[in-house]
Structure 1
Amino acid sequence: MPTSALNPAPEVSMATPQHPAFGSSALRQRRSSHSSHSSHSSHSSYAARHPDRVPPKAASPNRAFLAVIGILVLVLLQTFAGLWLFVKGFLLTRHELLGANNCTRPADSAWTLPAPPAAFDDAALLKWAETLDPQTGMGECRLKPTHSKAVVIVIDALRYDFIAPPPPAGSVSDRVEDAWKPNPHYHSVLTLPAQLTAQHGSPVHAKRPGPAGFLAHFAADPPTTTLQRLKGLTAGTLPTFFEAGANFGSAGTGVGRVHEDTWIAQLRASILAQRGADARAGLVFAGDDTWATVLPGLFDNDTMWTYDSFNVEDLDTVDRGVESRLLPFLQPQHADRKAGVHDHWRLLVGHTLGVDHVGHRFGASHEKMATKLGEMQRFVQNVTDAMDDDTLLVVLGDHGMDEHGDHGGDGELEVGAGIWMYAKSGFGYTARGGKMDAAEYISTPELEALLPSRIAFSPLPSPPYGAHRSIQQIDVVPTLALLLGVGVPYSNLGSVVPELFAHPDTLLRALRIMATQMRTYLAAYAAQSPDLAAFRSELDARWLAAVRADAELAAALHGRAAQADVETLWRKAAQAYHAFNRVSLVSARSVWAQFDQVRIGLGLLVLVLGLASAWVLRSGARTGLIGRLDADTADGDVMVERASSGAEELGRVVYAAVRTPALVGAATGAAAATATQLVLAGLANLTLLDGLLAGSAVGSQLGLLLSASGANLRRSIRTRESDSVAVPTTTRVLDAAGWIVLLLHAGSFASNSLLIFEDRFVLLASAVLLLLRGAFAVGAASTQRQQVRLGLMAVVALLLVRAASMPRVCREEQAAHCTSTFFAGTAALNSPYVMVASYAAAFALPRVVAWFLAQSRSYVGVAPMFFTWALRPALMLGAGYWVLDWAVALDAVQASGEAARVEWVKGWVAVLALGLPGVAGVFWVFAPLCLEIRREAAAEGEEKTKVTILGYSNSLGSSYVLLVGAVFAVLFLVTQPAGQLALAAVLVAALAAVELGDAERDRVVLHRQRTETPAGAVHLSAAEIASLALLGYIGLFGTGHQATLASIQWRVAFLTSPTVSYPLSPVLVALNSFGAVSLLPPLLVVLAVVWNATPLPRGSGRKMATPSVMLHALLTLALYNALLLTTSAALAGTLFSRHLMLFKVWTPRFMLAATVALLAQAAAIAAALAGWHTANKVNTIFGTEFA
């Protein structure tokens, strides 16, 4: 705000003694060290002689701000306690059973069903079923292997349409509007799987032993992150949503390790049982180092080569390593083949990463994708050429990718991987009719409704493709186990691929083995958890139906029935066992996360009480809380019951209110947790730490709420009545509007559709608040100049908010109602035009911020130097990094041989762009205030020379905005160019909103002057704080994010290094994902508090209420975030806990709310610390006191 009657620039006359608070620099007098010392002595003598003329030393603001920090820490700890309890109850990992399938019975190719039971009643059938169990009877646990060796090639992010056969020529509509055109970057590039499958036919149609292939859509279970998919591919288990966070685990940490049985463990055990425990198993691995995390110790140590999996900039190293390590095992004439090393292998596993990294780096529709898929074509060709008849080849994707190369969620393109299984010796003869499809043979209409065997896939045309053969990703586990002649993993929930078990008798035996093991696992799981209790009757009925069909087949076989009848019963039994397997899988999926209702309830209780406590603390910051405080009397200091005045006293009242209840609560919680372990089985999982956190949090909250009742409540009512007179009607309306927006934002979480389009709601709500604030500001302005200025501020803020929301990444559910604009086209590339605009914004933004400072004549002192030599270079380096990132991938740069040098320069640019704001932050700590002393010659007839202190009226705000700029520069670097433009728009809009807020507070001051209302602290309205919070969310969405895992921009983890570096890489990803919504709002709120808050000079006899105003504002922001968190937690953990979209919509939004609540509260503490430091500077220079 410009200097005005409310914010005057002080004038100091040269004829009057200079106040020592201004220091010798005020008069710019040049003295020797001696004269300076003499001056100091002279001043001391003067003070001693005239104590009435020299104001006493100003009181330090430390105690007041320390109380602010303490209260904010209390709120953070209570929020953390509530989240700890809720998350442990809601986002549990799936209960792991550590049993293993102890399959010791050898395979018997002549095995047949035992004699049927004498009677076919339920009891007799279940008794007869025990004879089919390999542990209790004579049943099978393995089949004779079709192949003794296997090669498994995992092509990371291999989407189904990357290997699917193209539509036949002339089968696609000729109409232009209907025509489907293949994407030249990934369609018909990796063609070998489709070619060999078409050439040799599927195994179910084989007339004689010979090459056979099977190609299908490979449906992955979300979350589609590599670590979780490898668990499914090896153990056949279902993941939980929360396990996605383990993807940042590393080998040796134990994070993400599979503790359950796997087909690789079964194969290793089978080999070592024959060769001896000390022998080499012949299990070889090369590729993604995630395998070392998931399956440590299963591959032979001397034939396991791992490569860094997170370096998305490196497209070739892992792929080259896989080829060079595996091909010597297959090619007898390979130059690197060594006797004793490359002989006698049983399993080769290779995991390439180039396709995935191209997707992350450039998107799917990029020429480098065609290059990489071509390389995979040659690699697979080399494998097929070299493999012998006794080898089974499996080429598969662990997950797919969307058009931007992202994955992690459950979108069609993310879960749509591809699989190809191939053997030169085929998979045996078939006894089915040539027209009988294998999937159709074992399926029924009911099962097709549950898990269809054929699905549509949008990247491929329909017609001619009505549907594509699809299998569940975990189906590969029992399939590989049985084809290799080993037991099915204990916890497997997948089913066999029927096409690979050609004969109906072999297929039935495979389904029976699988169903028996699955029933064993489900029975053990039911003994550990009640999750499946609701499905027990249905599963029992399905099992009994399968056993009955099997008994009927046994009766037919032993009764020498006609072959046609036997074949009919073969199919009936196969359908029954398949139905049991599939219904079991669907049932388990519906309860894939078990909820601990006790922890969920305790967590919600702490979060709800935390809302009430934060409200009480916020009210205390505004009006004070009644407690026992000292009072000066004639008899000395005594303790009396009175309302706190200022932040320091509020801190003492709060400490007294929560100290004892927190300790008592902690002791009670610990005792309760210990007792429940011994007495109440339902609460047996409540640990001692849970009890301590719950008890101390609830105790402190109840202590605070009880102390705030009674007299405090009555006083609060009276204060609200007086406030209605102390503030104008427009301020009350703005307060109400702010709370209404907050309630609507939280309430929108109850609607699936509104939650999906949260980005549009945030834009609308922000625009409405800014429009309302602008209209009130213009209407209340006292001059035409103010009307024009404030009106322009509001319009500029509205336009910038709209501009900041233009860069957008659409989530899958928004479908046709959204167009992604964050990247250039469909690829994950940044537009050159956007990069040019970002570079221009980086150059201009410091000047725009300087303009806001110039309005209060605060762009003086160190400010010009800071903006010119720190902020602008940091921003331009941040924009330049992404220009280099774009340039290094150009064909011209690659062909010139300068790519490595450009990469090196890019890395150092990122280091400098991070280092410069760090240096600027250190400079800010020790820098003086943004002040300048300006002399003005005396007017004619005057003897005194005037000295004006420029920047005085906004000395708090001008200093603080330098820190905001340094933090903003870091966020600018970690954001891609379109997001950089959005962040720049958000920052300028926020400064305009802060100016509107300053005008709103001026209006309150003028209202009090007109109504002769007693002066008091002027607090930020709820609308102003809500506007800043919503700007944070606009920044979140404008930087290319949504409340989905797929929108995480992993590539920023490699800004400063080509490999993952801890802890910097996760920090960079966190800043990119949450910086705009977690760091900026608290900083902007504190900036709004100190903006144009004119310091009260030494000797004024008054104290500034800045600490209390700051605490009130930050607690209002905390309430905003806490209400969103509590609402999302309550809806996800209770009302929608069994909703179909729980893990797709509500769980990611809860995780976002939880992260934002914690990070924003931590940032609020840091922002308050920075405000404290700024206040100390003002206290030192001007002698301003704070309370």
Structure 2
Amino acid sequence: MQVEARTRIRQQKLRITFFGYIFVLIFFAILQVISIVFFKQGFLLSRDVSSTISYCNDTIDPCIQPTIEKTIFLVIDALRFDFVIPVEGSDKHYHNNFPILYDLAQTNPKKSTLLKFIADPPTTTLQRLKGLTTGSLPTFIDAGSNFDGDEIDEDNWLLQLYNHNKSIAFMGDDTWEALFKKYINPKYNFPYPSLNVWDIDTVDNGVLEHIYPIMEQNDWDMIIGHFLGVDHIGHRYGPNHHSMKDKLNQMNDEISKIIDKMDDKTLLVVIGDHGMDYTGNHGGDSKDELETTFFAYTKNKKFNMSPKGKEKYDISNLGSNYRSVNQVDLVPTLSLLLGIPIPHNNLGFPIDEMFKDLKIPSVKTIEQINRFRQSSPILKDTLGMPETFTIESSKSYQYQSLEHCKTLWARFDMKFIVLGVILLFFSFVFILAYSRSIPSVRVSTMSFEFIGSVIAMSLLGIVLSFSVYIVLMPQNLTLKNCIGSGVAIGMVIGFWAPIMDRFSILWLLHQIVDFFVYSFNTWSFMGLAFIVLHCLIFASNSYVIWEDKMIHFFIMTFGVGTFVSILKNPTISTNEKILGLNHSFTFLFVSRLVSMINLCREEQGGLCKPTFETTWWSIVLLHVVSFLLPLMIKSFFKLSNSFHSAGPLWINGMKFLLMLNAFYWTFEYVDNLNYFQIPSTVFKSFKLSIARIVLVISLILANYSWSRGPLCVKIDLSRPAPPEQTIPASPDEDAPELKPKATILGYGNIYGSSYFLLVINFSIAVMLVSKPLGAVAIAGLLIQILSFLEIIDLLNLRRNLVSPIIFGLLGYQHFFSSGHQATIPSIHWDVGFMTTENIIFPITHLNIFLNTFGSFIIICLSLPLITLWKIPPTNKPITALSQIITVITSLITYQTLISLSSFIFTAHFRRHLMVWKIFAPRFMLNGLLLVVINVILIFLSLWFGTGKVLTQVNRIFGK
């Protein structure tokens, strides 16, 4: 009874301490999230949007007479310019398969024009539609709203058509409905879901189904059709795929039919909203993403275009000699042709080719731009109107206005930027002080002092900030920001008070220094060097560009260090040394192999050769990995005699699920080839079934079973060997009975082997939503983790700074090796539709999340293994828990430092030429990673994983 009572008391203390740690880490995470939000709000400001609507005054400023009656406006998404011009000698599937636009421009130069259409970054569809309809510039932060388009609240040409009682028909990409629904004639509104990039025909077929019947009617003034097939083929297969040729041929044929059915009162405009890079993606500002197509054609004999000379049809150098116009130029062009006011916020200039006499259109445009500038506080009086209204002076004025707006459009709010940096710095200091005081936390319940202090000060901060807002009503500060500031300041005071109550400033400084060195040795210095060098990467755009190579260098440096250390360590036995060298070599070998899988970013140029692509050999390699990976994990389990009970079940199940995953990508590859002429619906049903089975088993069934299942141990009952034959003392004396001896197999790694099964569950899900080479890289990550754990045990690095740092570096290495970069185009949006045909929250979003952050999810889940791997059951589980908390807080501190460095240098380079291309995406990645790492470590690694393992083992083996 006393033993049971002691066990219950020990479990109760463990539970109380455990929840104390959980709540403190949650408060740290909240403070960091608040700091990220404030920095984001100061740095990623949306541009100022004027709500003024342009009007024509019949007496003072009348609109010019329309020159066209009806317009068919077709958007072919991602129609890169070289898709429509002839390219001699090219065998690419995207060349020479859409000739009608070029042919018409050549044969009817006064009735048609073909121009290079230059988009403004970011090249995402929502931002491009805003620019194409308002004439204004997008901002970087708008890129995040591409999946949640809000209704446009500024002046645009659809609004102007609606105000002038014009009927607008629409069919295609449903982004238009999200932005302009109230301006579209409900009778002719046919939106289609736009984000399933694996569906290449539904939207296009929907456009074609409705456009021809509407053209036969007379009650429309503008038809808008948005085709998505070209864009989706790019996302799914890349531009050089046979499906691209078929799609471009289809577009060519359909444009020809539309032209045949047009009357002589109609203007046809065909444009692309953006291009695509060599992978088929877009969002950035590379040449291939920015250069798209503008084409206009009419049969109207009274409407003459003014071609600027045949030089714009020179096909040398893939269209480099074609005349180019900005996408914002479409807005005044259409407005003036339709006889409606130019939208108030427009910054474009009429396209020369569309007007026989440009003088009046240019004057109208300059007057509109001047009105816009005078209505904006940051633009007013910064540039005077031209003294004489010539076409050249008007163009000069418009160009200077456009460039000036590009530099001033998004104003940085330094008070929020500084506040975000300061709060993140405080969070770093607090979590560092907390992690170094963990031994005293165990004794003095300092965790609960933190909890009470933070809650009290946060509530006080809310009350005071709300009172200040009500009394003072400060300008340029919303109630949300005011309360957020109060909560943040309250949390800072709440964390600071218990620390200063117990410890002095000198103690805090000592702990900060001690954190970096633990017990200072070569490994501690290496870990510190990796932290410093990683933080300094953000001081240069060149280093940010090549971060993947630098991370690989750090990991290889550590691997070589372990190899040399094991080789020269005299305290390690020969057998252990051989085994250790084998683990070190495995770690180095796999690290080198996965570094060969990479997706290049545009800035790396010819110095980087991309290897991340789906080919036949990558599919074969995926099948090989599905067979070898379980065998290798099995071999590691056998090293600690842990391949028992749940071990064989999980590892054999892993083999089955990985085989299903390999078959999924085999079906995908065969479907892409279209070699066997099997209907795509057959492959789709197979793929959906496989993906859903693997995802449900790995994320739901396997984790539920793991939380209830047995440990990786086995009781072996073996009888001892009989003693040598002896003569009995008397004939009646019996020989001694040999009692069986019980041995618990797997006892020495009871925590680690059971916990690693949880890592297997999530690894399978991550490998499913990763493309073939990405799954191969994740398999390499698992081998690296297991080899690293064996090295940690052999070199006694459990409590050394370098261990959690290497885990963090492995997360970054496999972020890059799984086909990602810190750029918008590298996000694998298409995997969102592996398990669903349409967008379904949260399944679609979960797939993209697992794909993007999969490597960090795995390393965060694996982090407690630094403490748990190869240790027997302990009667002091709180001690093991405190060591796990130290490791967890070390990784959080490392990522906090990385994010803090990124924030500081991004703010410093806010006027840098590459800020939106390099620094801003990297800071956004760091902010997201800080949130993701906190969430995974707190709720999965600690709450779900560590809590279950420690509790179960302590219940069974507690003394």
Give 1:227 shift.
Answer: 1.2
Partner of 2:926 in structure 1? Answer: 1153
Give 1:712 shift.
Answer: 7.4
Looking at structure 1, the residues matched to 198 and 770 of structure 2 have their Cα atoms a distance apart, in angstroms, of 17
Gaps of 5+ in 2: 724-735
Q: Which amino acid aligns with 1:1140?
A: L
Q: 2:96 aligns with which of 188, 207, 213?
A: 188
**Residues 458, 488 of structure 2: 8 Å contact kept:** no
Partner of 1:87 in structure 2? Answer: 40
Deviations 1:765-824 (A, max 9, x none): 11112222333244334211111111111111011111112111100000011011001x
Partner of 1:771 in structure 2? Answer: 560
Matched, 1:822 2:661: no
Looking at structure 1, the residues matched to 125 and 947 of structure 2 have their Cα atoms a distance apart, in angstroms, of 45
2:544 is paired with a residue whose SS is helix
Q: Which amino acid aligns with 1:187?
A: H
Q: 1:926 aligns with which of 686, 691, 708?
A: 708
Deviations 1:714-754 (A, max 9, x none): 89569959x99x95x6xx22122112101111111110100
Give 1:654 shift.
Answer: 2.9
Residues 193 and 63 of structure 1: CA distance in aligned 2, closer, same or farther (over 3 Å): same
Partner of 2:727 in structure 1? Answer: none
Greater RCO, CA 8 A, separation 6+: 1
Deviations 1:21-42 (A, max 9, x none): xxxxxxxxxxxxxxxxxxxxxx
1:59 is paired with a residue whose SS is helix
Partner of 1:472 in structure 2? Answer: 326
Residues 53 and 470 of structure 1: CA distance in aligned 2, closer, same or farther (over 3 Å): closer
Partner of 2:533 in structure 1? Answer: 744
Partner of 2:238 in structure 1? Answer: 363
Deviations 1:814-868 (A, max 9, x none): 0011011001xxxxxx111111111221222122112112111111121111211
Residues 182 and 1163 of structure 1: CA distance in aligned 2, closer, same or farther (over 3 Å): same
Partner of 1:851 in structure 2? Answer: 635
Decide which moves more: 774-783 or 1144-1153: 774-783
Give 1:1093 shift.
Answer: 2.2
Q: Which amino acid aligns with 2:958?
A: G
With structure 2 as the length reference, what TM-score do the two structures score?
0.94
Residues 685 and 220 of structure 1: CA distance in aligned 2, closer, same or farther (over 3 Å): farther
Give 1:940 shift.
Answer: 3.3
Task: Count residues in correspondence.
Answer: 940
Partner of 1:316 in structure 2? Answer: 201
**Residues 807, 982 of structure 1: 8 Å contact kept:** yes
Matched, 1:913 2:866: no
Looking at structure 2, the residues matched to 718 and 1137 of structure 1 have their Cα atoms a distance apart, in angstroms, of 30
Looking at structure 1, the residues matched to 772 and 52 of structure 2 have their Cα atoms a distance apart, in angstroms, of 51
Looking at structure 2, the residues matched to 1104 and 745 of structure 1 have their Cα atoms a distance apart, in angstroms, of 33
Looking at structure 1, the residues matched to 843 and 772 of structure 2 have their Cα atoms a distance apart, in angstroms, of 21
Question: Please, what is the CA RMSD of the aligned residues?
Answer: 2.6
Partner of 1:886 in structure 2? Answer: 669
Q: 2:648 aligns with which of 855, 860, 864?
A: 864
Partner of 2:10 in structure 1? Answer: 59
Partner of 2:730 in structure 1? Answer: none
Instruction: Work out which of the two has the higher radius of gyration on C-alpha atoms and give 1 or 2.
Output: 1
Looking at structure 2, the residues matched to 931 and 152 of structure 1 have their Cα atoms a distance apart, in angstroms, of 69
Q: Which amino acid aligns with 1:945?
A: P
Give 1:358 shift.
Answer: 1.2
Partner of 2:858 in structure 1? Answer: 1080
**Residues 662, 700 of structure 1: 8 Å contact kept:** yes
Looking at structure 2, the residues matched to 53 and 814 of structure 1 have their Cα atoms a distance apart, in angstroms, of 64
Q: Which amino acid aligns with 2:823?
A: T
1:258 is paired with a residue whose SS is coil
Partner of 1:807 in structure 2? Answer: 597
Q: 1:1068 aligns with which of 844, 847, 860?
A: 847
Matched, 1:613 2:430: yes
Q: Which amino acid aligns with 1:315?
A: I
Partner of 2:27 in structure 1? Answer: 74
Deviations 1:26-81 (A, max 9, x none): xxxxxxxxxxxxxxxxxxxxx5xxx6999765610211211221222122111111
Deviations 1:402-457 (A, max 9, x none): 12211111111111111101122267568x9x9x7699xxxxxxxxxxxxxx899x
Q: Which amino acid aligns with 1:182?
A: S
Partner of 1:123 in structure 2? Answer: none
Looking at structure 1, the residues matched to 320 and 292 of structure 2 have their Cα atoms a distance apart, in angstroms, of 18
Partner of 1:483 in structure 2? Answer: 337
Looking at structure 2, the residues matched to 52 and 959 of structure 1 have their Cα atoms a distance apart, in angstroms, of 26
Partner of 2:353 in structure 1? Answer: 499
Looking at structure 1, the residues matched to 786 and 584 of structure 2 have their Cα atoms a distance apart, in angstroms, of 11
Give 1:242 shift.
Answer: 1.3
Deviations 1:539-560 (A, max 9, x none): 12xx1xx1x213xxxxxxxxxx
Gaps of 5+ in 1: 1-46, 106-133, 168-180, 204-211, 250-254, 273-280, 333-341, 440-453, 551-572, 625-643, 824-829, 1004-1018
2:114 is paired with a residue whose SS is strand
**Residues 515, 577 of structure 1: 8 Å contact kept:** yes
Partner of 1:1182 in structure 2? Answer: 957
Matched, 1:282 2:167: yes
**Residues 461, 483 of structure 2: 8 Å contact kept:** no
Partner of 1:512 in structure 2? Answer: 363
Aligned ranges for residues 1035-1046 of structure 1 at < 5 Å? 1035-1046=814-825
Report which of the two has the higher share of helix.
2
Matched, 1:265 2:159: yes
Partner of 2:108 in structure 1? Answer: 200
Partner of 2:192 in structure 1? Answer: 307
Give 1:345 shift.
Answer: 1.6
Aligned ranges for residues 171-182 of structure 1 at < 5 Å? 181-182=89-90
Give 1:936 shift.
Answer: 2.3
Q: Which amino acid aligns with 2:636?
A: F
Give 1:672 shift.
Answer: 4.3
Q: Which amino acid aligns with 1:1091?
A: W
Give 1:888 shift.
Answer: 1.9
**Residues 39, 421 of structure 2: 8 Å contact kept:** yes
Partner of 1:827 in structure 2? Answer: none
With structure 1 as the length reference, what TM-score do the two structures score?
0.76
Matched, 1:956 2:751: yes
Q: Which amino acid aligns with 2:157?
A: W
Q: 2:626 aligns with which of 835, 842, 847?
A: 842
Aligned ranges for residues 138-217 of structure 1 at < 5 Å? 138-140=60-62, 142-166=63-87, 181-201=89-109, 203=110, 212-217=111-116
Looking at structure 1, the residues matched to 577 and 160 of structure 2 have their Cα atoms a distance apart, in angstroms, of 79
Looking at structure 1, the residues matched to 183 and 87 of structure 2 have their Cα atoms a distance apart, in angstroms, of 39
Q: Which amino acid aligns with 2:159?
A: A
Matched, 1:1027 2:809: no
Q: 2:888 aligns with which of 1110, 1114, 1134?
A: 1114
**Residues 458, 486 of structure 2: 8 Å contact kept:** no
Q: 1:220 aligns with which of 115, 119, 128?
A: 119
Q: Which amino acid aligns with 1:948?
A: T
Looking at structure 2, the residues matched to 1054 and 842 of structure 1 have their Cα atoms a distance apart, in angstroms, of 23
Residues 1026 and 718 of structure 1: CA distance in aligned 2, closer, same or farther (over 3 Å): closer
**Residues 932, 950 of structure 1: 8 Å contact kept:** yes
Looking at structure 2, the residues matched to 816 and 576 of structure 1 have their Cα atoms a distance apart, in angstroms, of 41
Deviations 1:110-168 (A, max 9, x none): xxxxxxxxxxxxxxxxxxxxxxxx8xxx345x32211111010100110001112446x
Deviations 1:1135-1155 (A, max 9, x none): 111111111001100111011
Decide which moves more: 847-856 or 418-427: 418-427
1:407 is paired with a residue whose SS is coil
Aligned ranges for residues 236-251 of structure 1 at < 5 Å? 236-249=135-148
1:295 is paired with a residue whose SS is helix
Residues 406 and 1067 of structure 1: CA distance in aligned 2, closer, same or farther (over 3 Å): same
Give 1:653 shift.
Answer: 4.1
Looking at structure 2, the residues matched to 1174 and 1146 of structure 1 have their Cα atoms a distance apart, in angstroms, of 41
Q: Which amino acid aligns with 1:776?
A: S
**Residues 619, 665 of structure 2: 8 Å contact kept:** yes
Give 1:704 shift.
Answer: 5.0
Partner of 2:827 in structure 1? Answer: 1048
**Residues 7, 955 of structure 2: 8 Å contact kept:** no
Deviations 1:1055-1085 (A, max 9, x none): 11222212211121111111212x1221121
Looking at structure 2, the residues matched to 909 and 425 of structure 1 have their Cα atoms a distance apart, in angstroms, of 56
1:953 is paired with a residue whose SS is helix
Percent identical among aligned pairs is 29
Give 1:343 shift.
Answer: 1.9
Partner of 1:753 in structure 2? Answer: 542
Give 1:288 shift.
Answer: 0.8
Looking at structure 1, the residues matched to 56 and 35 of structure 2 have their Cα atoms a distance apart, in angstroms, of 46
Matched, 1:343 2:194: no
